[in-house]
């Protein structure tokens, strides 16, 4: 159990805390994705000390922690869906993958001189980028199933690291977000790779499989939206459009009135669209509305951006 002193102040999460951030339980050697609940109650009050199980760099309310944990759960479910259905070539499933992920982190820690987390992170980045590239190459050959498998591994190999564990504008947070929304090898994200590949496969699969593939594409695109701060304004608009297109393709396959887009998600998208349009948000401006930024710094960034736009309007002849 953590002491009171360890629950005060911001700091980098330990490897154990990073692993504990993911909603996974191992029961009798069986790996289970849990419902992601952190407490028996929820509220929007931000406390003055961290919870006993720290999972976020900043202090957050229970509602916020539940939401961030829910995103990590959705990511795990997407990986499991792909690995269990498209991993037959290597005789791999989600159960075996989770053990592989844990063992490789232990191995990488042993290879570093001090078990430095940043060095371990660089190793994970390399593994993820390699798998992403192999997925891109398989997709170019229209081997959608193999591509999906490699993309899922690319996503999995970033575990246990996650964006919520690091402060705004930190090198690791930026790199993690960019690997999702702006890959080292392709100007497209790992999550976008999965979504686009799943949609390509859905067009040639029978109805039941196609419906599940559109669900997968939708989940990955929703996760992508939570990384808005790492996108350009153009990429963010494209992601809004992609969410709607996936939902429409899903509805076209259904005989009932089922849809993927909920009223809540549509409302959130409309708020984001209004924000980037009315505030004339720039690409750098998206970084400045990262939720991890302290409120004072967000306000400072907003004032600076307003001053810059005002000054720009007075440049040149009147």
Rounded CA Rg of the chain: 21
Residues across the chain: 318
Torsion of CA 258, 263, 264, 270, to 10 degrees: 130
Higher pLDDT, 137 or 40: 137
- Range list of β-strands (E), the chain: 24-27, 30-33
Q: What pLDDT does residue 37 have?
A: 61
Q: Is residue 6 part of a domain?
A: no
Q: What is the largest CA-CA distance in the chain?
A: 75
Upper half-sphere CA count for residue 155 (Cβ side, 13 Å): 31
Q: How many domains does the chain have?
A: 1
Residue 60 pLDDT grade (very low, low, confident, very high; cuts 50, 70, 90): confident
The answer to the question of residue 245 being in a domain is yes
Q: Which residues of 132-155 are buried (b: 16+ CB within 10 A; e: fewer)?
A: bbbbbebbeeeebebbbbbbbbbb
Question: Percent of the chain scored above 90 by pLDDT?
Answer: 47
Least Cα distance to 195 among 158, 232, 144 occurs for 144
pTM value is: 0.86
pLDDT value at 208 more than 70 = yes
Print the domain residue range for 191: 13-253+262-291
Q: How far apart, in whole angstroms, are the C-alpha atoms of residue 305 and residue 298?
A: 11
How does residue 254 score in pLDDT terms, banded at 50, 70 and 90? confident
Residue 140 domain flag: yes
| Cα–Cα distances in angstroms (integers) from residue 225 to residues 33, 95, 192, 228, in the given order | 22, 28, 11, 5
Distance from C-alpha of 240 to C-alpha of 261, rounded to nearest angstrom: 11
Query: What whole-number distance in Å separates Cα of residue 127 and Cα of residue 243?
Result: 29
- Residue 297 domain-assigned? no
Each residue's pLDDT tens digit, 27-59 = 888 899 998 665 544 566 777 888 888 899 988
- The answer to whether position 314 is within a domain reads no
Is residue 315, in this structure, part of any structural domain at all?
no
What pLDDT score does 90 carry?
58
Distance separating alpha carbons of residues 252 and 246, to the nearest angstrom: 10
Q: Is residue 300 part of a domain?
A: no
Residue 187 per-residue DSSP state: S
pLDDT band at 2 (very low <50, low <70, confident <90, very high): low
Residue closest to 171 by CA, chosen among 122, 124, 129: 122
162: in domain: yes
Distance CA 127, CA 108 (A): 12
């Amino acid at each position: 159990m953590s002491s009171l002193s360890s629950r005060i102040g911001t700091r980098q999460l330990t490897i154990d805390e990073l692993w504990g951030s993911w909603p996974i339980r191992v029961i009798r050697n069986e790996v289970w994705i849990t419902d992601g609940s952190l407490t028996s109650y929820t509220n929007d009050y931000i406390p003055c000390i961290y919870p006993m199980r720290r999972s976020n760099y900043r202090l957050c309310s229970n509602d916020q922690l539940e939401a961030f944990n829910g995103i990590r759960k959705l990511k795990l479910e997407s990986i499991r869906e792909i690995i269990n259905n498209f991993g037959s070539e290597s005789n791999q499933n989600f159960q075996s993958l989770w053990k592989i992920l844990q063992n490789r982190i232990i191995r990488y820690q042993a290879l570093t001189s001090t078990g430095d987390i940043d060095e371990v992170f660089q190793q994970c980045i390399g593994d993820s980028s390699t798998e992403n590239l192999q997925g891109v190459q398989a997709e170019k050959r229209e081997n959608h199933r193999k591509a999906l498998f490699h993309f899922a591994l690319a996503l999995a190999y970033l575990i246990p690291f996650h964006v919520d564990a690091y402060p705004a504008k930190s090198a690791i947070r930026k790199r993690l977000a960019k690997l999702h929304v702006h890959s080292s090898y392709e100007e497209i994200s790992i999550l976008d790779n999965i979504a686009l590949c799943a949609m390509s496969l859905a067009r040639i699969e029978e109805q039941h499989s196609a419906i599940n593939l559109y669900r997968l594409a939708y989940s990955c695109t929703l996760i992508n939206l939570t990384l808005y701060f790492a996108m350009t304004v153009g990429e963010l608009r494209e992601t809004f459009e992609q969410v709607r297109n996936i939902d429409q393709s899903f509805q076209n396959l259904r005989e009932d009135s089922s849809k993927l887009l909920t009223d809540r998600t549509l409302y959130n998208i409309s708020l984001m669209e209004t924000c980037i349009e009315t505030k004339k948000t720039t690409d750098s401006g998206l970084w400045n509305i990262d939720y991890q930024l302290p409120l004072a710094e967000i306000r400072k960034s907003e004032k600076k951006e307003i001053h810059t736009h005002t000054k720009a309007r007075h440049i040149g002849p009147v």
